[in-house]
Structures are given as C-alpha cells and as structure tokens.
C-alpha cells in the first residue's frame, strides 16, 4: 500500500469556532417566557369549527341533491 493515498486523506479539516455550551443554552431558553393570548386561540378554534361545519353541510347537501336529481331522472 502506498503512503500517498494516506497522505491525501489525512488533510486537516478546519472546523468553525463555535461555542457549544449545552447548559447555558438551556438556561437562556428557559428565561424567555412566551405569553399566549387565550382569546385569539379561542377565536381560531371557533373559526376552524365553523369552517368544518360549513364543509360538512356542503358535502351532505350535495349528496342529498344528487340523490334527489337521480331519483327524479329515474322516475
């Protein structure tokens, strides 16, 4: 085995200087408190429920309408 192949693969790879301190990262994240407005969450929940009800109403009414048209055509 030649030493040239070993020399080519043994080049030093420079890594960026990053300060990695796990304990400090956890402490800094725990200090930040995020406030959540319950009223906006309730509004979002109510609007999503309204959209779901509307979708269900459209689906049921289209099924009933198509059944009515099919029965009118057949008779």
What confidence tens digit (pLDDT) does each residue in 49-75 have?
Answer: 999 999 999 999 999 999 999 999 987
Confidence bin at 32 (pLDDT 50/70/90): low
> What does the pLDDT read at residue 49?
97
Q: What's 11-63 look like in SS3?
A: CCCCCCCCCCCHHHHHHHHHHCCCCCCHHHHHHHHHHHHHHHHHHHHHHHHHH
> What does the pLDDT read at residue 36?
83
> What does the pLDDT read at residue 34?
79
What whole-number distance in Å separates Cα of residue 56 and Cα of residue 59? 5
Write the pLDDT tens digit of every residue in 13-27. 666 666 666 556 555
What whole-number distance in Å separates Cα of residue 45 and Cα of residue 31? 29
């Amino acid at each position: 085995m030649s030493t040239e192949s070993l020399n080519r693969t043994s080049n030093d790879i420079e890594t960026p200087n990053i300060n990695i301190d796990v304990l400090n990262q956890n402490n800094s994240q725990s200090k930040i408190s995020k406030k959540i407005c319950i009223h906006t969450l309730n509004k979002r929940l109510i609007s999503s429920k309204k959209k779901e009800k509307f979708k269900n109403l459209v689906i049921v009414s289209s099924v009933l309408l198509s059944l009515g048209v099919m029965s009118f055509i057949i008779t």
